[in-house]
Structure 1
Amino acid sequence: MQSIVAFILIFSIIVIFHEFGHFYFAKRANILVREFSIGMGPKIYHYQGDETTYTLRLLPIGGYVRMAGLDEMAETIERGMQLILETDSDGQVETISLATDQQNYNGLPIEVFASDLEDEMFIEGIPFGQTDVRRFRVSRTANLVEADGTIIKVAPSDRQFQSASIWQRMLTNFAGPMNNFILAVLAFILLGFFQGGVPTNDPVIGDVVDSSPAADAGLQAGDQITEIAGQSIDSFAAIGDAVSNHPKEELDLTYQRDGKEHSITVTPTAAQASDGSQIGQLGVTPSQSMNPLTIIAAGFQRAWAIIAMVFAVIGSMVKNGFDINNFGGPVYMYQATSQVVSMGWLGLLSWLGALSVNLGIVNLLPIPALDGGKLVLNLIELVRGKPLSHKIEAYINIVGVVLVFLLMIAVTWNDIMRFFG
């Protein structure tokens, strides 16, 4: 249960940050955001804001920001549909309900004859019990009650996504992954403060492992190593370089303590490397820095290191071929979260940062239906001077959705096989 709660919490935080990026920049571009949803599937709860409805849905596997545009309303209200209209004292429609199975004694049932909820803002229809077609003016801020009871706003054409400038749309599409990177940096910065600092590359010992060669030789925390086996030491990384090639060999070591220089002999232990070879180890850890600027810089550096690692994996697949084992879906993320839970909340914070970076990069891949695919369409429009036709763009998005769906099935199945294997 603890692992499930941790997984839902981490994934929800990442989704909220990602979608808030789209939400914020859409609002800045005067794009109508109809719904901000956490989760997918059936609606559990919704809250109606001034323009946006905030919903919580059953399946904690994602979320979305629903922006008005691309003929969405034209597909919602069709000739022959049954609606319930609520009007103000002047006869202007303030609420359009598609949920005709719900009792509404304040509304007027009609059968739709024609409608335009983008430019002219009207609905024509035959009211229940009458035979003549009536025309109703619709408010630019009218509510639309969907079949499941979710309340959203109608979308005049000037508030739709495609009415914003190309640069505003590009920024809105990019903002989700951008927020993932920002979240990762914040997580790593907080981790640095909470764990008492970040490792420095200074040749100063932060801690000495008990019963290690360093402890046996009398080295202490705070000692600054200046020379090993005749090699000058100017960084902590240089300590490892000087020791790793000499397992079980006596080495002369010089260090400074309290302003005085001391010389000793140490014999590194032999540890097995990933390639099977043996490397020498002293048993010391780097010193920690609590300098706020150093911790902030370390947060950016750690996020960038993960970004570089992920792109290295992508580059390897481009060069050597696709490998599904380089991907992980919800099953893998849950399994990894279960392992991280044992490391405590600092481990979860670190995992949050790493996962946020990965999801940000995945969303930037130039695959239709993902943010990266949308950015590619924006660039095509920028070069052509006009967007692709809605029909072509719809076909591209359908192909993208199918590809993503098939990839998710394959990745999830592979995760299950690895989990039980």
Structure 2
Amino acid sequence: MTDFLTGLVSTDGFVLGTLVPFLFVLLVVVFIHELGHYLVGRWCGIGAKVFSVGFGPEILGFTDRRGTRWRLSAIPLGGYVKFVGDMNVASAPDPEADAALTPAERDVAFHRKSVARRAATVFAGPAANFLLAVVLFATIFAVFGRGVADPVVSEVRAGGVAEEAGLRPGDVFVSVDGRPVAQFSDIQRYVAVRAGQPIELVMRRGDALVDFTLVPERLEIEDRFGNKIEQGVIGVVNNRDSGGHRVQKYGIVESVGMAVAETWYIVERTGGYIGGVITGRENADQIGGPIRVAQVSGQVATLGFVALLNLAAILSVSIGLLNLLPVPVLDGGHLLFYLFEALRGRPMSEQAQEVGYRIGMMLILGLMVFATWNDITMLFDRS
């Protein structure tokens, strides 16, 4: 019994080691997403009935002077803002409820606002996620610094494509496909998503520049926690002895610029992965759900608070991008409906919207089941 309790509440146990980091990361990201909806909705003159972090029964909450109920709910896997006039948390209109609205409520009802105001309110959620990521990355770069390494080859792995192409230890990356390489991570990131695609390298060898063409191979990489991921590699290593490893801090302006670039990189890589899954170029086993997020949160928490902030930024971008998918029920689906409304000059029929919401709900539920299955499979593979 003592061993069980120790494993539950110790710093590397379930509660403090996994659950607390998971809730910290997820609830911060969800709160900022919903806060984006809420604040822009207020700016657009839309009233809010409920602001909830989590779903299901309310654990605690309060009602502010504007009549909005702020809630912390029992299931911490998302959240929502229910605006005046909404039938449900998906912001679907309810004709019967609309008829029952008071004149004051009709003035602030979501569905009675212009397409532009509704679209701005919906887009504000994902936008807030991207903004949160920029703020977190900029804070990390300015306050804590960023680990960097010179773009030098310390070691060439035997049998790798780099050895076959003729790269040698001491070679310095100058550019890849015409893009300048400033740090070793630049080449790692570029190669990781281009398995099977020819790339052009310019290397500095002594005083000369040498051109190489090679094709990254796809390999399964295992991180320090035993998590496995497939990515492109060329078989070169940068080590601490000759790689110029250091922690570099940046000014505020430079940190913000780097944070924007880092956020965009995650958008590109996530979007590229989703596109690869759709076209069959990528395996879908990397799609994870709450179990994997919880596990990764616990693992990253062992590396320190900065690593957890970095994970929160990455997850914030991913959630923002996911919500922009053109699937009814998600923010992107609402924006798609508003685009049709703007082009047609009138909303889509209630029947068409209802069908769209049902299809969207089935797609989301299917994705959740698939992601959870991947999570469970991963746990069994590691056991």
Q: TM-score, normalised by structure 2?
A: 0.70
Note the residue ranges of structure 1 that are not aligned, 5 or more in a row. 78-115, 122-139, 141-155, 206-211, 214-227, 242-250, 255-271
Q: Deviations over 1:109-157 (max 9, x none)?
A: xxxxxxx5325x6xxxxxxxxxxxxxxxxxx4xxxxxxxxxxxxxxx32
Is 1:160 aligned to residue 143 of structure 2?
A: no
Q: Deviations over 1:45-77 (max 9, x none)?
A: 220112211111111111100012256676569
Distance 1:278-1:384 versus aligned 2 partners, 3 A rule: closer
- Counterpart of 1:279 (choices 236, 247, 253) is 236
Name the counterpart of 2:29: 14
Cross-structure match for 1:342: 302
Query: 1:322: Cα distance to partner?
Result: 8.0
- Cα distance change on mapping 1:286 and 1:159 into 2, 3 Å: same
Going from structure 1 to structure 2, the CA distance change for 1:38 and 1:236 (only over 3 Å counts) comes to closer
Q: Identify the residue that residue 47 of structure 1 maps to in structure 2.
A: 62
| Cα distance in structure 1, aligned partners of 2:375 and 2:368 | 10
Within 5 A, what are the aligned runs for 1:277-316? Answer: 278-279=235-236, 281=238, 282-285=242-245, 288-316=248-276
Higher relative contact order (CA 8 A, sep 6+): 2
Following TM superposition, by how much is the alpha carbon of 1:383 offset from its aligned partner in structure 2, in angstroms?
Answer: 0.7
Please state if 1:68 is matched with 2:84. Answer: yes
Q: What do the CA deviations read for 1:224-274 (whole angstroms, capped 9, x no partner)?
A: xxxx77999997449999xxxxxxxxx8699xxxxxxxxxxxxxxxxx997
Which entry has the higher C-alpha Rg, 1 or 2? 1
Give the 5 Å matches for 1:177-192.
177-192=126-141
How many residues align? The count is: 301
* Conserved? CA contact 1:70–1:161, under 8 Å: yes
Tell me the alpha carbon deviations over residues 178-219 of structure 1, each in whole angstroms, 9 at most, x when there is no partner.
Answer: 011001111111111232357497x8x9xxxxxx99xxxxxx
* Aligned partner letter, 2:80: Y
Is residue 50–residue 83 contact of structure 2 (8 Å, CA) maintained in 1?
Answer: yes
More helix by share: 2
Please give the residue correspondences for 1:17-416 in structure 2 after superposition, counting only pairs within 5 Å: 17-51=32-66, 52-69=68-85, 75=96, 117-118=100-101, 140=104, 156-196=105-145, 199=148, 236-237=182-183, 278-279=235-236, 281=238, 282-285=242-245, 288-320=248-280, 323-416=283-376
Q: Distance in 2 between matches of 1:231 and 1:409?
A: 43
- The amino acid of 1:353's aligned partner reads A
C-alpha distance 286-402 of structure 1, shift in aligned 2 (>3 A) = same
Measured against aligned partners, the alpha-carbon deviations of 1:27-56 in whole angstroms (never above 9, x if no partner) come to: 111111100001111111220112211111
Paired amino acid for 1:23 = Y
Cα distance in structure 2, aligned partners of 1:331 and 1:280:
32
Structure 2 residue runs without a partner (length 5+): 1-14, 88-92, 156-169, 188-204, 209-218, 222-231
Q: Secondary structure at the match of 1:328?
A: coil
TM-score normalised according to structure 1 size: 0.64
Given that 2:144 and 2:249 are in contact with CA atoms closer than 8 Å, whether structure 1 keeps it comes out as no
Quote the Cα distance in structure 1 between the aligned partners of 2:260 and 2:234.
Answer: 33
- Aligned mates of 2:81, 2:183 — CA distance in 1: 46
Report which of the two has the higher share of strand: 1
In 1, the alpha carbon distance for the partners of 2:346 and 2:171 equals: 68
Aligned residue identity for 1:362: L
Cα distance in 1 between the residues matched to 2:172 and 2:69: 69
- Mapped to 1, the partners of 2:174 and 2:269 lie a distance apart of 31
Describe the superposition over 1:355-403 as per-residue Cα deviations: whole angstroms up to 9, x where unpaired: 1111111100011100000000000001101001223212211221122
Q: CA RMSD in A?
A: 3.4
From 375, 380, 383, the equivalent of 1:420 is 380
* Counterpart code for 1:192: F
SS in structure 2 of the partner of residue 31 of structure 1 = coil
